[in-house]
């Protein structure tokens, strides 16, 4: 004997019909959001791959070490009772020299080989640092005195700008690769 199935009651059909539609639309929204999130993550990965190069990572590492050199030299010189202003000048010069040598070989892989090429590269590096020092000297008062931004925030903003400028000046001006 074949079991006879009766159709579902109409009330029950009316309740269940919208449910698959709702589930389907929610699922569709989840798929779209998931695809959008997946695409956003892929774009973020591509952006990181583009900007977080070995060069940038090394620049950041040696930038931190340059700051440590600056502070350590200043601390040691003031510890031996050298005038703070002279200690600061020596610390800055030492830090810039440290930055030059680390950036030259370890960050930007300079190909300068003759003394003249190295001297010219050093000149361009120092010229770039002098330029960003002027940017910092003018930028801080602009942000703090004229625009009224809190002093530490002004210092952080201008420092961030100077770091980025120093990177690009070093990469495209001071340690620019020779055209082959």
136: closest CA among 92, 73, 71?
92
Q: Does the pLDDT at position 86 exceed 70?
A: yes
- pLDDT score recorded for residue 56: 86
**Most confidently modeled of 48-57, 115-124, 150-159?**
115-124
- pLDDT score recorded for residue 30: 52
Q: From CA 145, how far away is CA 154, in angstroms rounded?
A: 10
How big, in percent rounded to 5, are the helix, strand and coil portions of the chain?
A: 80, 0, 20
Distant-in-sequence, close-in-space partners of 144: CB < 8 Å, separation ≥ 6? 150, 151, 154
- Which tokens hold the place of 137? 């000297």
For 160-170, what is the mean pLDDT?
89
Q: What is the pTM of this model?
A: 0.66
For 73-93, what is the mean pLDDT?
89
- pLDDT score recorded for residue 22: 46
Answer yes or no: are the C-beta atoms of 156 and 140 closer than 8 Å: no
- pLDDT score recorded for residue 29: 53
Measured between its terminal Cα atoms, the distance across the chain in Å is 90
Using N-to-C axis directions, what is the helix angle for 84-102 and 54-79, rounded to 10°?
150
Share of the chain above pLDDT 90, in %: 29
Q: Does the pLDDT at position 180 exceed 70?
A: no
- DSSP letters for 151-168: HHHHHHHHHHHHHHHHHH
- pLDDT score recorded for residue 117: 92
Residue 109's region, left for phi above 0, alpha for psi from -120 to 50, else beta, is: left
The larger pLDDT score, comparing residue 169 to residue 41, is at: 169
User: pLDDT digits over 103-136, tens only?
Assistant: 998 988 888 889 999 999 999 999 999 999 899 8
**Most confidently modeled of 11-25, 38-52, 157-171?**
157-171
- pLDDT score recorded for residue 148: 92
Return the minimum-mean-pLDDT range out of 38-42, 58-62, 77-81, 141-145: 38-42
- pLDDT score recorded for residue 175: 86
């Amino acid at each position: 004997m074949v079991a006879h199935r009766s159709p579902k009651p109409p009330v029950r059909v009316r309740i269940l019909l919208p449910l698959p539609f709702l589930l389907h639309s929610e699922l569709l929204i989840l798929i779209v959001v998931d695809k959008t999130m997946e695409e956003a993550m892929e774009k973020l990965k591509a952006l990181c791959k583009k900007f977080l190069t070995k060069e940038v990572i090394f620049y950041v590492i040696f930038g931190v070490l340059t700051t440590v050199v600056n502070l350590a030299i200043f601390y040691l010189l003031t510890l031996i009772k050298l005038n703070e202003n002279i200690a600061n000048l020596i610390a800055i010069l030492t830090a810039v020299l440290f930055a030059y040598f680390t950036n030259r070989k370890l960050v930007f892989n300079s190909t300068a080989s003759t003394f003249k090429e190295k001297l010219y590269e050093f000149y361009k590096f120092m010229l770039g640092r002098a330029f960003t020092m002027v940017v910092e000297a003018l930028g801080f008062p602009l942000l703090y005195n004229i625009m009224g931004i809190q002093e530490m925030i002004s210092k952080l903003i201008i420092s961030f700008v100077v770091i980025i400028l120093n990177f690009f000046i070093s990469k495209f001006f001071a340690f620019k690769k020779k055209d082959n």
